[in-house]
Amino acid sequence: MDLSSINPALLLASLLVASTPILIAAIGELVVERSGVLNLGVEGMMITGAICGFAVAVETGSPALGFLAAAGGGAVLALLFGLLTQFALANQVASGLALTLFGLGLSALLGKDYVGIKPPPTPRLDFGPLSDIPYLGRILFSHDLMVYMGLALVAAVWAMLKYTRAGLVLRAVGENHDAAHALGFKVIRVRLMAILFGGACAGLGGAYISLIRVPQWTEGMTAGAGWIALALVVFASWKAGRVLLGAWLFGGITVLQLNLQAAGVKIPVEYLSMSPYLITILVLVIMSADRSRAPASLGRTFQASS
């Protein structure tokens, strides 16, 4: 056992990277759920984003265009969900699950010609002398743009929900769609926009995996990250700041577990790989002491009684 071989700065730095995909996807889903819609298709949208981003980045040579395409791809799939649930008034749980099935199939078909290719590299941001600060430089100033975008996104969503009129409308729609409708808000329009935003975020999260985290395309490569993102939203009890915390916890435990193993610490690996999930349940129990709860209209179908 040699704990000294674990460098805390490196550990924290890799934690930031490991948590980014689920963070971005979760913050999008949070907005969706705050509008009163439950979209269980995050995994499907992530994997679609992963292949759209990968394919476009490879074809154009530009990771930036790739990420743009990933957001687009995720949003298009989300639109499908939006049409189903908002216009055809279909059940949201079932539609979301169907979306995942569809997305996994679609991505596999789209990705057939992209197996085994290396995408163009996404550069790390250059912070000049900042990166050379001992400790902090490695933790904070050594990443690619998307890591910071993820953090910025969390801040933006937090501020939007708390301080802006748009956030107020979103929450109103999510809490009581009939009242919001009576006040003259366009419930369906608001929800559709939230759904599209959620899809775009999921797409970005997926592309982060295929373009930066792993850089490659393989079928089913998101391997359940979408489900984790969904879990995060509930874990965070629909609060933006806590999503960040949750993402670090999830990313953190896996990274820590692997680091401990590599350091030769005798740990029951098979139990430790279950630990993020057990800890989530534990934290959830503790947090349910405070009375934050789901948006009241979550998952319920809205139909204007004109």
Partner 1 sequence: MLKLEKRPQPSRLWTYLTPPFAVLITMIAGGALFALLGNDPVEAIRTIFWEPLFGEFAFYYRPQLLVKGAPLVLIAIGLSLGFRAGIWNIGAEGQYIVGALTGAGVGLAFYPMESWVIFPLMVLAGALGGWAWAMIPALLKVRFGTNEILVSLMLVYVAEGLLAKMALGLLKNPEGFGFPGSRNLQQYPSAHNAEIIAGTGMHWGVLSAFLAVIFAYVLLNRHMLGYQIRLTGEAPRAARFSGVNPARIILVCLGLSGALAGLAGMFEVSGPSGQVSIDFNSGYGFTAIIVAFLGRLHPVGILAAGLLMALTYIGGEIAQSNLGLPAAAIQMFQGMLLFFLLAVDMLTNYRIRFKTAEAA
Partner 2 sequence: MKFIKGIAGAALALGIAGAASAQEPTKACFVYVGPIGDGGWTYQHHQGALALKEEFGDKVEIAWQDSVPEGADAERVLTQFVLSGCDIVFTTSFGYMEATNKIAGQFPDVKFEHATGYKREHPNVSTYDARFYEGRAVIGHIAGRMTKTNKIGYIASYPIPEVIQGINSYFLHAQKVNPEVELVVTWVYTWFDPAKEADATRAMIDQGVDVITAHTDSTAPLAEAAKEDGAVIGFGQASDMAAFKPSPRVASIIDNWAPYYIKRVQAVMDGTWEQQASWAGMPEGEVVIGEITEAVPADVKAEAEAMIAAITAGEYHPFTGPLKKQDGSDWLAEGEVADDGTLAGMNFYVEGITGDIPQ
Footprint of partner 2 (CB under 8 A): 5-7, 10-11, 14, 17-18, 21, 108, 111-112, 115-118, 209, 213-223, 225, 254-255, 258-259, 261-264, 266, 268-270, 273
| Binding window for partner 1 (CB under 8 A); candidates: 23-31, 144-152, 179-187, 230-238 | 230-238
CA atoms within 13 A on the CB side of 103: 38
The interaxial angle of helices 225-235 and 8-34, nearest 10 deg, is: 80
Nearest approach in angstroms of CB 293 to partner 1 is: 8
What the block records as the tokens of 85 is 């649930």
CA gap 86, 177 in Å, rounded:
13
| Interaction of residue 296 with partner 1, rule CB under 8 A | no
- Binding letters toward partner 1, positions 52-81, x by CB under 8 A: ----------------------------x-
Q: Indicate which single residue of 234, 256, 258, 267 sits in contact with partner 1 (rule: CB under 8 A).
A: 234
CA gap 24, 29 in Å, rounded:
9
Q: Which amino acid is at 56?
A: V
Q: Indicate which single residue of 280, 295, 297, 302 sits in contact with partner 1 (rule: CB under 8 A).
A: 280
CA gap 250, 239 in Å, rounded:
17
If contact means CB under 5 to 8 A according to the sort of partner, which of partner 1, partner 2, none does residue 99 touch? partner 1
Q: Indicate which single residue of 63, 103, 174, 198 sits in contact with partner 1 (rule: CB under 8 A).
A: 103
Please give the backbone phi and psi of residue 273, each rounded to the nearest 5 degrees, phi first: -70, -15
Sign of the C-alpha dihedral computed for residues 117, 119, 120 and 126 taken in this order: negative
Sign of the C-alpha dihedral computed for residues 31, 294, 40 and 185 taken in this order: negative
Binding residues for partner 1, per CB under 8 A? 80, 84, 88-91, 93-95, 97-99, 101-109, 112, 219, 227, 230-231, 234-235, 270-271, 273-274, 277-278, 280-281, 284-285, 288-289, 294, 303, 305-306
